[in-house]
Structure formats: C-alpha cells, structure tokens
Structure 1
Amino acid sequence: MNGPEIHLEVAPGLALFVPHGRRSGATPVTTDGVSTLGHVVESLGVPLTEAGTLLVDGREVPTSYVPVAGDQVEVRPVTRPQRVPGAPLRFLLDVHLGTLARRLRLLGVDTAYESTDLGDPALAALSAAERRVLLSRDRGLLRRRELWAGAYVYSTRPEEQLHDILDRFRPELRPWTRCTACNGLLKEATKEEVADQLAGGTHRSYDVFAQCTDCGRAYWKGAHHEQLEAIVARALEEFAG
C-alpha cells in the first residue's frame, strides 16, 4: 500500500493474529486511500469474525469506513456473549475439530461436522446455506466472503475449546439429546430395539437405552459415562441459563 498513514491498535486478545512488530500499542499502517477499514484489518491478519467494535478517533465506524490520513484506529474483540442473527444457534466445525464437535453434541448443541475434508469453499458455502456459525482454526477459511458467520477456535485443547465456545456464544444446553456420531436427535429405546448392537455383557448388564433417530446408533451408560457426566456437569454449572 502507498497512501494515507493511519495508526492502528488491536486489542491484546487479537495480538496473535498480527505480525510481532505490530502487537504493542498503536502502530503506523500505510493504506491505499480506497480500501475499507475492514479490508485493512484483515490485511494485517485479523479475521473480521474476531473483530468487534472498530473505533476511529474514539467513534464507532462500520467495516465499510475508508480510513484517512491521521486516523487513530482501535480494533476491539467481539463482545461476549456474542449474538448471532437468526435462531436457533447452530454450528459447523471443520475437519480438525472432531472432539469439540462430539462434546457440543453431548451437550445437545446442533453441531454439523464431517470427518472428511470438504475443502474451504464447500465449508463456507454450507455455513451460508444452513446459516451455521463456522468454527475453525484456519484463518484463511474465516476470511472467505461467502461465509455466513464464523469464529476462530483459539486453543488446541478440547476442554479449553469447549469452554471458549460456550462462553462466547452461550448456546442452549440440552445434554444427552443428540447423537455424538451424527448429530441426530435421541429417543428412548427398549433393549429389544437395539439388541443387534449389544455384546453379551452389555445385554446382560444394562436395561436403559437411547437410540439415534437418524443413524440408529444405540447409547447406554457404559464404561466412559462418568467422564461424559463430568463434562456435562462442568458445562451446566458454568453456562446453564
């Protein structure tokens, strides 16, 4: 760029997106005089999904604002809880977030996920077609124009990822109502209805079952149930209501 110089400062929480030399305080940025502030912010590495209020000389401006020489720009993070237009709140996760997808489904949150890589264009288009918030650690994916809504997943640890998404969006939690494998809704089932999925020991030891109305998978309180109950209990304690 070769044009008006502005001074731009990003919030500390957004510093990971920008080059090291631009992370501390307001730094000079040379613009071309025609690009919008949204374009300038993204050119520095900050996805607009992560940019909240944009301030110029203390006043709020839209992403379509065209900066002029001397502007003092502040990029704030999104306000939490973040409100997404439309209802109900639904998510779409990229191929690298399988554990997070299963935990969101465990909590009853409508979460689409494919274990194969659909590719960035297809994911962004699916987000728009189904009006789902796309969750990803791919910054380039979150900058695609066809994306309906998105959010960067900051951590690589599933427990931290779950906490961050629940804190940011505060979705309604309805634990034990969705299939963790396909996202379908669960219904009560008799032992006879799911008998073909039960090994001998399971058939003898358990009497309470649920079954996915979409894929038919059976569920019961097996060996890992205590671990799943702990995940649910922590989420409900902090985010229910």
Structure 2
Amino acid sequence: MAKAEITITFDPGLHLFVAGPNRVPAAPVETDGTSSLGHVVESLGVPLTEVGALLADGRPVSPGHVAADGEHIEVRKFTTPQRVEGPLRLLLDIHLGTLARRLRLLGIDTAYETPDIGDAALAARSAAEHRVMLSRDRGLLHRRELFAGAYVYSTKPAEQVDEVLARFEPELAPWTRCTACNGELRAVTKEQMGDRLQSGTARTYDTFAECESCGQAYWRGAHSTSLNAIVERATRNR
C-alpha cells in the first residue's frame, strides 16, 4: 500500500511527549499507509494511556483506525474522572515507592514492586490482577499487555497523590491499609500487642492496629502529624 501523508494536532497537555516539530497544529506526518492510528501516535511519543478521543476529520475513530492520505487527526488528552473496569487497583514501579506508601495510607489498593522485576513482568502482573500501571517510564506504558496504565507527571510525591486522586477519583478509606505491604489493617487491643510495645508507648497510646498480612503493628505515634497532613490534604475537597 502507498504511503499516506496526514496531519496531526496534539492536545497541548500531550506536548510533554511529542517532539517540537509535531507540537504545532496540523503537523504533517508521513505514515506507511498500513499502521494503525494507535501505532502512529505511539511512534510519535505519546502513550495511548494518556489519550482520550481520537478524531479523524472530526469524526471519532478507534486506535485501530488506519488513517487515509490527507486525513487530519486530532489527538485529545484523557478526560477526568477516568473510569476503569471493576474496583480501582494500582500497581507502581520501583521509582514510585513514596507515592505507593501515601496511596496505601489513604486506603487505596496499591501494589508496589521492589526490587525492579522488569517491564515485562510488571505488565504481566497488571494484566493478571487487573491493576492500573502507574509509571514515569513511557516505554513501560506502551506495552500492549497492560490492563490499563497512567503516566505520573510530577516528580513530587504530594503532587503525585493529587494527580492520582484527580484522575481516578477513588474512594478513600484512610488508615485501613498497611503502608509496608498493602495488607488490610484490623483493630487490636493493647493486650493483644503484648511485648511488641515499649513501656513508654504502652503508657501513651490506647488505639492500635495490626496488618492482617505481615503483622506490622500501627499506632498514632511520632509521625502522626505528617501523616495526618497527607490525609487531610487528600480529603479536603472530597
């Protein structure tokens, strides 16, 4: 099939991924005439996880559409809130450990892989467990095996949390998950804590919880002020 020349306009919110010459409206792009539009968009740097609607000469098309010579393609950014099939379950790569702990603090089901198990294994776990892959690795988000994915734009953990909450609007249940392993917490008495408590802690605190998966013990201790601030920021406008 003969090559096709099309024009593409990317949403400004996607310019982060696109080389300078393709950021201008109606940038000319030559295709091989057989590749899907999804493939063309990704070849220009944009993960499909970040794409909302695709329009060809103003009409909605799927990523499988093969653009014809002369077509104008509009690539829009995803819209919020973004819905996924079933309950929201997340998977974060090795570079997002702080974000993982904060999301668990908020009660969001968040798996986190460490050490680095590689892109193929991460994508396979995303598919097997129906988890949305969060990453700043654009190559990882290009993998077809993913159940779903989302790019994390900020490098600052507080802003990363804001991004996830704005994008997916998950239900929050603060203080219900283990920040170490993602297991669910259950209330336990001071007596059940036994000798795991130092005498000062036993005298000072009365409310305790334990992870059902790893046994980690929790109470509102020295770090509660900073953790409360994270929870308050997340729940302030919900």
TM over 0.5: yes
**Contact 1:106–1:179 (CA under 8 A) maintained in structure 2:** yes
Do residues 201 (structure 1) and 200 (structure 2) align? yes
Which amino acid counterpart does residue 77 of structure 2 have in structure 1?
P
Provide the C-alpha distance between the structure 2 equivalents of 1:172 and 1:58, rounded to a whole number of angstroms. 36
| Structure 1 equivalent of residue 45 of structure 2 | 45
Other-structure match for 1:109: 108
Shift of residue 196, structure 1, vs aligned partner: 3.4
* Long gaps (5+) in structure 2: none
Specify the code of the residue in structure 2 equivalent to 1:105. R
- Offset from partner CA, 1:163-216 (integer Å, 9 cap, x none): 011000011101111111111111111122223332332222112111111111
**Where does structure 1 lack aligned partners over 5 or more consecutive residues?**
none
1:35 is matched with 35
Q: Secondary structure at the match of 1:92?
A: strand
Question: Shift of residue 14 of structure 1?
Answer: 0.5
Structure 1 residue 12 and structure 2 residue 12: aligned? yes
Q: How many residues align?
A: 237
1: CA distance between counterparts of 2:162 and 2:51?
Answer: 20
Separation of aligned partners in 2, 1:70 and 1:154: 33
Aligned to 2:123: 124
Which one-letter code corresponds to 1:160 in the other structure? E
Match of 1:184, SS? Answer: coil
After superposition, the C-alpha distances for 1:150-171 in whole angstroms (9 at most, x for unaligned) are 0000010001110011000011
For residues 29-178 of structure 1, the aligned pairs below 5 Å read 29-85=29-85, 87-178=86-177
Measured after TM superposition, the shift of residue 231 of structure 1 is: 1.1
CA distance in 2, matches of 1:204, 1:153: 43
- Structure 1 contact 195–203 (Cα < 8 Å) conserved: no
Give the 3-state SS of the residue equivalent to 1:64 in structure 2. coil
1:223 equivalent in structure 2 = 222
Aligned-pair CA distance for 1:114: 2.1
TM-score after normalising by structure 1: 0.95
Q: How large is the Cα RMSD of the aligned pairs?
A: 1.1
| Distance in 2 between residues matched to 1:9 and 1:161, nearest whole Å | 27
Cα shift at 1:118: 1.1
TM-score normalised by structure 2 residue count: 0.97
Amino acid at match of 1:59: R
Map of 1:210 onto structure 2 = 209
